[in-house]
A and B are shown apart, each in its own frame.
Chain A
Amino acid sequence: MKSESIIISNLSKKFTFPVKNKSNSWIKNLFKPEIREVVAVNNISFSVKSGERIAFIGPNGAGKSTTIKMLTGILYPTSGKASVLGLDPVKDRKKLAYQIGTVFGQRSQLLPNLPLTDSLEFFGVMYDMTEEQIQSRIIELTKLFELESFIDQPVRKLSLGQRMRAEVAASLIHKPKIILLDEPTIGLDVVAKKTLRDLLLKINKEEGTTIFLTSHDVGDIESLCDRTIIINHGIVIKDMPTEDLSTSFIFEKYIDLIPMTRFESFHELPEGMKYVLKGANKITITVDSNKISVQKSLKKLLEIFEVEDIDVYNADLETVIRHIYERN
C-alpha cells in the first residue's frame, strides 16, 4: 500500500498589506494606514500518495502557487497543518529540502554565465552529495534528459526548451521523492512541452517520484496527471481522477454545422440550445442534454439550416475546466 507523501489539513494563508485611503490625511495614511486582508488559501485539505501525479490547477490568483510555497516551507501558513513526507515544512524546511525538488517555471535556479555542468555540480554540493555521487547522477540525468548536446554551454545561451529540461534535471540532482513544479511548461513550444511531459512521466515511472504540478496548460494535465485538484478563490472545488474530469460535463454536447453555401440568418433556438459561434461558414451550438435530447436538437437544426456536414462531440477538457472555474 502506498504511503501518504503530502497531507494538508485546514491549511489557510492570509496576506495583509497597507492601503491608502483617499479620505484620510496623508499623515494617517503614512502612520496608520488601513490594512487590507487577502485570503489566498482558505481552509483546504487533501492528501497525496507516493508516486501519484497531481495537477493542482485553478485560474490566476486561485491560490495554487501559495499552496506550493507553503508545502516547501517558503511561506508560513496562517493556520492549519501541512505535512510533507512526515515533516513540517516550516519547522523542518532544510530537512525537507533534501527530499523534495522544486521548479518555478518563471524563475531560473541555474547559474546563467556558466555551463550547465557547473550548476549541476553546484546543486550537488548544496545537497551534500559526494563528488562520486554528483558525477554519477550527472551522467544519469544527462542520459535521461538528453542533455549531451548542450551540457557544456553557458545556461544563458540555451533555448527556453533546453533551459526548462535543465531546470528539471537540476531539481532532480538529489533524487527527490517529490517534485513540485509551478507552471513548468510556460512559454514552451509544443515539441518542448511534449518532451518535458515525457521526461516527467519517465522519472515518475523509473524513480517513483511523486509529481505535483500547477499549470494552465490542459495538455500537461491530460497527458501527465492521473489526478486533478481544482482550486479557486483559495478553496478546493474539485478533486478527482483526471479521466473523470472530462466526463463531468458529459451532458453538454457540441454540434458544429457546415453550410451548403453560407449561413445568412441565425434563428432563435429552443431552450437547452445555445450558439457558441455564429459564422457564415460555421456555426457551433451547445446542447444541454438534460433539457433537450441530441436527437431532437439535430432534427430542429436540420429544419432551420441547410447543412453540408455535422459534427457532434463532447466538451474538451479545457472547456470543462473553464466551466468549472466559471461556476465558482
Chain B
Amino acid sequence: MREIRLAKKIIFTLVKDRVQYNGRLIADFLSIFARCGVLLILYWYVFKLNNGLVNGVTYITIAWSMFLYFTFSVLRLRDISKEIMRDIRSGSVEILLSKPVSYFWYKIWWQIGSGIYPFLVIIIFGGIILFSIIGIPETMSLGLFIPTFLVVFAGAAILSLILYSIVGFMAFWIEDINPIFWMVDKMVMILGGSYLPVALFPSFMYKIALYSPFGASQFITHTVYESWKTNWFLLISIQIFWIVILSILAYIVFLKARKKVSVNGG
C-alpha cells in the first residue's frame, strides 16, 4: 500500500512538473512528427511502387506499427540507464540511499512519471491524426486488441525498464556506460522495428526479434499486424519469460552494485 502511494506521488509530482514545461512537449511532438513522419512518407512511396503490399503487409499496418514504436519511445524509459549513471557519477545516489525507499523502484517510478504526460498527449493526438489520414488496420478493430495491447504495453514498459536498468547498474563498476548503452539501444532499435518494421524482416531476423529480450521490449509494434490474432499469446509469454529472467538478473546485479557504492567526499 505504501509503495503504491509513493509510486502515485512520484508519478503525479512529475506530471505536475512536466505540465509546466509545454515547450518540451511541443519539442517531443515535433520530433516524432519529423522522424516518424519522414519514414511514413518514404514507406508510403515504397508501398505505392509495390501496389500497396510488401511482404503481404499493408501500408496502414506498417504506419501504425511505426507510430506505436515512436510513441513508445516518448516514454523515455531507456533514459533510466543514463539517470542511474548520472546519479552514480555525481554522487547523488547517496540522497536516495539515505531515504526509506528502494533505489531501484524509485528510479522506475521516476522514469515512468517523467514520460507519461508527453506519451499520453502524443498517443492521443498523434493517433487521432493518423486515424483521420489513413484509418486503422483490421486488427485494431478486433475485440481482443485493447486488452492484449494493454498487457503487451505494460510488458514492454517493464521489460524496457529492467533491461536499461541493468545497463545503468553497470555504472557502479565502469562509471561510463555509454558504449554498453549504445550497443543495447541499437539492438532494441533494430529488433524493435525502428528502422524497418519487424513484419518486413527476413525470417531469421524475425525470429531473433521475436525471441530476444531486445525485440520483446518493443512488442507493441506487433499488435497491429494481422498475425497478432493468432500469436498474441506467444508474444506475451515471451515477454513474461524475459521479464522474470531479467528481473532476477537485475536484482542480483543491483545487490552487488549496492556494495560498490563509492560516493564523493570524505
Interface residues of A (CB under 8 A from B): 15, 40-41, 61-67, 69, 72-76, 93-95, 97-98, 100, 102, 104, 106-107, 109, 111, 113-114, 118, 121-123, 125-128, 182
Please report B residues at the A interface, Cβ cutoff 8 Å.
2, 5-6, 9-10, 13, 16-17, 20-21, 90-95, 97-102, 258-259, 261-266
- Known contacts: A114-B13, A118-B13. The answer to whether A97 contacts B94 by CB under 8 A is no
Please tell me if the beta carbons of A128 and B100 are within 8 angstroms of each other in the complex.
yes
With contacts A74-B261, A126-B100 taken as known, whether A107 is within 8 angstroms of B17 at the C-beta atoms is no
A33 vs B100: C-alpha distance in the bound complex, in angstroms? 37
Q: Is there an interface contact between B97 and A73, defined as CB atoms closer than 8 Å?
A: yes
18 A-B pairs whose Cβ atoms sit less than 8 Å apart in the complex: A62-B266, A65-B264, A65-B266, A69-B266, A73-B98, A76-B259, A97-B99, A97-B100, A104-B265, A109-B95, A113-B21, A114-B16, A121-B9, A123-B99, A125-B9, A126-B9, A126-B100, A128-B2
Chain A residues positioned under 8 Å from B99 (CB to CB)? 97, 123, 126
Considering the chains assembled together, what is the distance between the CA atoms of A76 and B94 in angstroms? 12
Q: Do A118 and B266 have beta carbons less than 8 Å apart?
A: no
Q: How far is the CB of B20 from chain A (nearest CB, A)?
A: 6
Q: Are B94 and A111 in contact (CB under 8 A)?
A: no
Q: Which residues of B contact A69 (CB under 8 A)?
A: 94, 263, 265-266
Chain B residues whose CB sits within 8 angstroms of the CB of A102 once the complex forms: 95, 98
The total of interchain contacts (Cβ-Cβ below 8 angstroms) comes to 87
| Residue pair A125, B266 in contact (C-beta under 8 Å) | no
Name the A residues within 8 Å of B6 (CB-CB): 125-126
Contact of A66 with B98 in the complex, beta carbons under 8 Å? no
Please judge, given known A-B contacts A107-B91, A118-B13, whether A63 and B2 are in contact too, CB under 8 Å. no
- In the complex, chain B residues whose CB is within 8 Å of the CB of A121: 9
- Per the bound structure, the CA–CA distance linking A122 and B16 in Å amounts to 12
Given known contacts A107-B91, A125-B5, is B266 in contact with A93 (CB within 8 Å)? Answer: no
- In the complex the two chains form, is B101's CB within 8 Å of A126's CB? yes
A100 CB, nearest partner CB in chain B, Å: 8
* CB-based contact B100/A127 at 8 Å: yes
Task: Kindly list chain A residues whose C-beta atoms are within 8 Å of the C-beta of B91.
Answer: 107
Question: Do B13 and A107 touch across chains, with their CB atoms under 8 A apart?
Answer: no
CA distance A104 to B265 in the complex (A): 10
Choose among A41, A102, A111, A125 the residue with the greatest number of B CB atoms under 10 Å from its CB: A125
